[in-house]
A = this chain, B = another copy of it.
Amino acid sequence: MTEDIKDIEALELRDLYRDGASAELLALIASVHAEDIARLLGELEDDAALWVYRQLPSELASDVLIELEGVRREFIVSAISETELVEVIEEMDSDDATDVIAELPSEDAKKVLDGIDEEGSLEVQKLLKYADDTAGGKMQVELVSVSGDMTVRQAIEVVRERADEVENLTNLFVVSGDARLEGVVPLTKLILAKEATLVKDIADKDFNKVTTDVDQEEVARIFQRHDLLSMPVVDDSNHLVGRITIDDVVDVIEEEIFEDFYKMASLNTGERVSDNPGRSFKMRAPWLMLNLATAFMAAGVVKVFEDTIASLVILAVFMPVVAGIGGNAATQTITVMVRGLALGEIGLGSARRVLIKETLVGVSNGLLIGVFAAIISYFFGGNIIIGLVIFLAMTGNLVIAGFSGAVIPLLLRWRKLDPALASSVLVTTFTDIGGFFIFLGLATIFMRTGIL
């Protein structure tokens, strides 16, 4: 996405830190959004970041902490005092507080839970039970619930009491005496109803809800399909335990798409740009080791044709061209496939059509690129026969690229695995092996038959 012009730079904050100019700092950041402050903190050295963070008023400090990324958040949380941390956490919604506390060493988490007010502490302890990528992990306990036997006037009184605490309120939830979820009342209906009407008479009985264990992807899908703004979360016995709001769902959607592309690039989905070098190294090394294995499989193909290359070294010059373009064509195909499958634009039912299409695209691009490759190779010291070999190999390899780039994501989906596991490493193995094999194989045949 495009750049945002910032008026403040990390440099200025660094200067203020050196001068200990606390008042100037507060004046400077008065109109800066928490997200930008979080980014500036990410750019500062530890001591400067800590100093800046400590000057923030507690509500802002709370927003900034939520926005801070991985290691920087860990650092700030571990560097400030327990009292400071408690103060900051008390400003948070239950879901954000839970996220921060979940990252603490258990000793520290316990201290913070003892420090914050009892109601908040109980809420967080309940939320800590749920896996982060489930409805339970994404919900907040701040919501407005009313009894179906209340009048609209009474319900409005409940809204009045809770309005400060519950952000982006769009629905009231109707619960029975034992907290079982019975219905949903959109604010619009509440406004339009007569004050003496009973809440149960205006409540929607047919509404979307999820249990705490539902995967966050499924939650996001329900929100998108039904254009929801919030959704109640219930336990196995239909007791209302929380609500998920659309702003949390937006984050889930972003996270899920980026996870797909991380998988395609052979990255651990937990890696972040702010990770330290050691952590990034550990996360990427296993994938590169896997890549080393696949690369040597392709090298094994070249090895088979050592004699052919020995008698015509120019083949070694053109060989990576055929393999490389195949790899990029395959990456194009899997990217289109992963997007289409993720957004539900295609399903397994479209498999045949998509496979035919990608094979045809491979043939056409192969013919086109093959002709140009053959011509260029002539100026690189090739001859007409070598040009023909390049043309045929390029066409063949782009067909392999199109077909394997389409079929592997489909097979993964069919086996109920993530299509994004069709990583570049995997698919380029096919195009490397295919490219080397067809190109060097054809050259060998042409040489043995005396054509080349």
What residues make up the interface of A, taking CB atoms closer than 8 Å to B? Answer: 1-4, 6, 9-11, 33, 35-36, 39-40, 42-43, 69, 156, 159-160, 163, 167-170, 187-188, 190-192, 215, 217-218, 221, 223-225, 227, 229, 246-247, 249-250, 253-254, 256-258, 260-262, 264-267, 271-274, 276-278, 280-281, 284-285, 287-289, 291-292, 295-296, 298-300, 302-303, 306, 309-310, 313-314, 316-321, 323-325, 327-329, 331-332, 335-337, 339-347, 349-350, 353-354, 356-358, 360-361, 364-365, 368-369, 372-373, 376, 380-381, 398, 413, 416, 418, 424-425, 428, 432, 436
Q: A257-B254, A277-B360 are in contact. Are A43 and B347 (CB under 8 A)?
A: yes
A353 CA / B285 CA spacing, docked (Å): 21
Q: A159 to chain B: which residues have CB within 8 Å?
A: 188, 191-192
Contact yes or no, A6 B324, CB < 8 A: no
Partner of A364 from B190, B281, B310 at Cβ < 8 Å: B281
Q: A253 to chain B: which residues have CB within 8 Å?
A: 250, 253-254
Q: A320 to chain B: which residues have CB within 8 Å?
A: 295, 298-299, 302, 319-320, 323, 432, 436
User: Which B residue sits closest to A344, measured CB to CB?
Assistant: B39
A357 CA / B271 CA spacing, docked (Å): 13
Q: A303 to chain B: which residues have CB within 8 Å?
A: 314, 317, 380-381
Partner of A257 from B257, B284, B314, B432 at Cβ < 8 Å: B257
User: Which B residue sits closest to A425, measured CB to CB?
Assistant: B328
Contact yes or no, A373 B292, CB < 8 A: yes
Contact yes or no, B319 A3, CB < 8 A: no
Smallest beta-carbon distance A100→chain B, Å: 17
Partner of A33 from B225, B246, B350 at Cβ < 8 Å: B225
Q: A156 to chain B: which residues have CB within 8 Å?
A: 191-192
Copy total for this chain: 2
Q: A169 to chain B: which residues have CB within 8 Å?
A: 188
Q: A267 to chain B: which residues have CB within 8 Å?
A: 332, 335-336
In the complex, which of the residues A320, A354, A360 has the most CB atoms of chain B within 10 Å of its own CB atom?
A320
Partner of A324 from B291, B345, B358 at Cβ < 8 Å: B291
Smallest beta-carbon distance A199→chain B, Å: 13
Q: A35 to chain B: which residues have CB within 8 Å?
A: 225, 344
29 contacts between A and B (CB under 8 A): A6-B347, A39-B347, A40-B349, A42-B350, A43-B347, A163-B192, A168-B229, A224-B247, A229-B246, A246-B246, A246-B250, A253-B253, A254-B343, A271-B336, A273-B346, A277-B360, A277-B361, A280-B358, A287-B328, A292-B372, A295-B320, A295-B321, A296-B321, A298-B321, A298-B324, A299-B321, A303-B380, A313-B316, A328-B425
Q: A163-B188, A303-B380 are in contact. Are A266 and B424 (CB under 8 A)?
A: no
Contact yes or no, B418 A2, CB < 8 A: yes
Partner of A413 from B3, B168, B273 at Cβ < 8 Å: B3
A278 CA / B249 CA spacing, docked (Å): 37
Partner of A227 from B167, B273, B277 at Cβ < 8 Å: B167
Q: A349 to chain B: which residues have CB within 8 Å?
A: 9-11, 39-40, 43
A348 CA / B380 CA spacing, docked (Å): 41
Q: A292 to chain B: which residues have CB within 8 Å?
A: 321, 325, 369, 372-373, 376
Smallest beta-carbon distance A4→chain B, Å: 7
Smallest beta-carbon distance A31→chain B, Å: 12
Contact yes or no, A265 B314, CB < 8 A: no
Contact yes or no, B69 A345, CB < 8 A: yes
